[in-house]
A and B are shown apart, each in its own frame.
Chain A
Amino acid sequence: NAGVTQTPKFQVLKTGQSMTLQCAQDMNHEYMSWYRQDPGMGLRLIHYSVGAGITDQGEVPNGYNVSRSTTEDFPLRLLSAAPSQTSVYFCASSYRDKNTEAFFGQGTRLTVV
């Protein structure tokens, strides 16, 4: 059972470039979310989804887009990368029941130069 898989693990972008961080889960979880982790700031919610076709903004959504066309996949798009988006990005998934564990992917370390 693969769980939550993120690709790539590492990425360097130039300012202004675009890219998509991939996230896939094989646990049939309805709820998926993206967080960014910066030193001293914990895990901040970027976007989340409660099912295919339904997404909403989290705490820090600016500069990021998401879509959810299938239950398994929840890609995060950076339209025009900025140095402030240098961070470690984590995808997480869980059942929609509010009292269940969220499982995290292994993370993507993104550097924008």
Chain B
Amino acid sequence: GENVEQHPSTLSVQEGDSAVIKCTYSDSASNYFPWYKQELGKRPQLIIDIRSNVGEKKDQRIAVTLNKTAKHFSLHITETQPEDSAVYFCAARSERGYNKLIFGAGTRLAVHP
């Protein structure tokens, strides 16, 4: 079945540094790749997404890259701030079947002042 692997599981950076989270997916028919941020005790919320016909997308300090050949995609956060501290989830949605959205295991990012 579909599988999404996410690394690292925890990431600690100093304020102002960059953070990179990587995901790989197994289903070659996947064509939509969202990233969600979950703050402590809250619901996951979409921060950026990318579709399979695009290699890179940027929104202010956040960017996502996609390599369909290698079946992996990454989240890049530049100039990190303490409020970026949260759990980040990648996900993949496939064209097969009913377009299930499968999530990675999450990365806990800690940004230290």
A interface list, Cβ under 8 A from B? 31, 33, 35, 40-45, 48, 50, 56, 58-59, 90, 92, 94, 96, 98-99, 101-102, 104-107
Contact = CB atoms under 8 A, between A and B. Distances in A.
Interface residues of B, number: 27
Nearest to B99: A98
Contacts of B43: 90, 104-107
Nearest to B104: A42
21 contacts: A42-B106, A43-B89, A43-B91, A44-B103, A45-B102, A50-B99, A56-B97, A56-B98, A58-B100, A90-B43, A90-B44, A98-B31, A98-B99, A99-B49, A99-B51, A101-B46, A102-B46, A102-B101, A104-B44, A106-B42, A106-B43
A45 B44 contact: no
Interface in B42-56: 42-46, 49, 51
B105 interface: yes
Contact of A48 (B1, B34, B100): B100
Contact of A43 (B46, B99, B103): B103
A82 B24 CA distance: 32
